[in-house]
Amino acid sequence: MTLLIIFLGFLFGATLQIARLNRYNVISGMATLENLAVAKAIAVAIGVGAILINLEIGFGFASYHVKPFILGGIMIGGLIFGVGMAILGYCPGTLAISLGEGSLDALWGIIGGLIGGLVYTLLLPGINPILGPNLGSISLNSLVGGSSFVFYLLVFVIGGVFIVSSFILNKIEKKKDWNWLYAGVGLAVLNMIVFLTVTTNRIIGASTTYPYLANLLTGNTSNDYFIKIQTPGNWELLFLGGAFVSGIIISLFRKEFKFTLIHDNWKKYKGNSSPKRIAWALVGGFILIFGARMAGGCTSGHVISGGMQLAVSSIVFAVFVFAGLLITGKVFYKMKK
């Protein structure tokens, strides 16, 4: 099972590397609306994935793993996550891939994320009241009924809307590169494989790795939160290990491996200061993981895997993430160097 999880993580990393969706310039470009590849890939992944996974579950090959709609955590955590994603220029999963490619700012983001995961664990008993109320695991399936004709009709319609929206965004962007499409379909198929009862019977995820590893490294393992996340945290650590290996191997194969701290988009808006980039990467990583843990997931586990299940919590989370991402992009990247 360990080797299977690492291999799936490798495929995850390779899929994102096809369209370079893991890179700082691409994700920060989404925050400033200069690069829509991330939004297009996510939209097509959710659209194709919604159809594939709901059919897969309907035939009895998999089951739902819908995250609960914890109102405060989803909304506040989503906003915070979007802020961190804009500043850092990475998601919890893409940090591992980009580090494998030699991006040193991703390393500082990981360190910030580990600190964020540890601090969240320590503060959780005090902030727990603001995370609620818990409205339960709500999805199209629970609202309509998974065995009805209406349900599957809506699945195909909603999936189609997401797919069409990705092509509309591509038309707006006026780019002829179709790698985002291949990556989006690839993510949908990969999620379908991960969901299977005979493989791992769970969703793809990344952000639980950070509090899990941080608590493990500091010996803070007797708390209720660590006990709760121990199993998914270990799974995601192995998964991201595979993604990291993908980053190394594919970048070497492409002859693109290079140690880089300051990427072009950062230099364009924030200058060439190494200490400044390190400081903001630490801050961004901290914020990113703290927000992810408040919401109970991140881009891969909530927005994509949850979106494919047409989970209300995940769709609301995505709205707040993109709100935080775009607002921060508008403010942070327009500030003077």
Q: What is the pLDDT of residues 102-137, one digit of tens each?
A: 999 999 999 999 999 999 999 999 999 999 999 999
Query: Which backbone phi and psi does 197 adopt, to 5 degrees?
Result: -60, -35
Residue 4 — very low, low, confident or very high, per pLDDT cuts 50/70/90? very high
**So what's the pLDDT on residue 241?**
98
| Cα distances (angstroms) measured from residue 103 to each of 137, 260, 296 | 37, 5, 27
| Closest-CA residue to 112 (of 332, 281, 295) | 281
**Token pair of 17, please?**
């590397």
**So what's the pLDDT on residue 335?**
72
pLDDT averaged over the chain?
96
| Rounded mean pLDDT, 264-280 | 97
| Cα distances (angstroms) measured from residue 1 to each of 78, 97, 212, 335 | 32, 21, 19, 48
- Exposed, middle or buried: residue 118 (CB in 10 Å: 0-12, 13-18, 19+)? buried
**So what's the pLDDT on residue 145?**
82
Question: Does residue 327 surpass a pLDDT of 80?
Answer: yes
| Closest-CA residue to 314 (of 53, 32, 17) | 53
**So what's the pLDDT on residue 44?**
98
Query: pLDDT tens digit string along 140-164?
Result: 999 998 778 999 999 999 999 999 9
| Rounded mean pLDDT, 282-286 | 98
Burial pattern 33-67, b for ≥16 Cβ within 10 A else e, equals: eebbbbbbbbbbbbbbbbbbbbebbeeeebebbbb
What residues pair up with 70 in beta bridges, in sequence order?
Answer: 134
Domains in the chain: boundaries: 2-332
| Closest-CA residue to 9 (of 268, 246, 297) | 246
Residue 336 — very low, low, confident or very high, per pLDDT cuts 50/70/90? low
Question: Does residue 53 surpass a pLDDT of 90?
Answer: yes
Residue 238 — very low, low, confident or very high, per pLDDT cuts 50/70/90? very high
C-alpha to C-alpha distance for 87 and 24, rounded to whole angstroms: 10
Q: Helices 179-195 and 149-173: crossing angle, nearest 10°?
A: 150
**So what's the pLDDT on residue 172?**
94
Question: Does residue 39 surpass a pLDDT of 90?
Answer: yes
| Rounded mean pLDDT, 313-318 | 98
Question: Does residue 212 surpass a pLDDT of 70?
Answer: yes
Query: pLDDT tens digit string along 242-251?
Result: 999 999 999 9
Over the chain, what HEC string results?
A: CHHHHHHHHHHHHHHHHHCCCCCHHHHHHHHCCCCCHHHHHHHHHHHHHHHHHHHHHHCCCECCCCCCCEHHHHHHHHHHHHHHHHHHCCCHHHHHHHHHCCEHHHHHHHHHHHHHHHHHHHHHHHHHHHHCCECCCCEHHHHHCCCCHHHHHHHHHHHHHHHHHHHHHHHHHCCCCCHHHHHHHHHHHHHHHHHECCCCCCCCCCCCHHHHHHHHHHCCCCCHHHHHHHHHHHHHHHHHHHHHHHHHHHHHHCCCCCCECCCHHHHHHHCCCHHHHHHHHHHHHHHHHHHHHHHCCCHHHHHHHHHHCCEHHHHHHHHHHHHHHHHHHHHHCCCCC
**So what's the pLDDT on residue 334?**
84
C-alpha to C-alpha distance for 232 and 57, rounded to whole angstroms: 21
Give the distance, in angstroms, between the CA of residue 203 and the centroid of all CA atoms in the same chain. 12
Query: pLDDT tens digit string along 65-88?
Result: 999 999 999 999 999 999 999 999
Report pTM: 0.95
* CA distance between the termini of the chain: 48
Question: Does residue 337 surpass a pLDDT of 70?
Answer: no
**So what's the pLDDT on residue 294?**
98
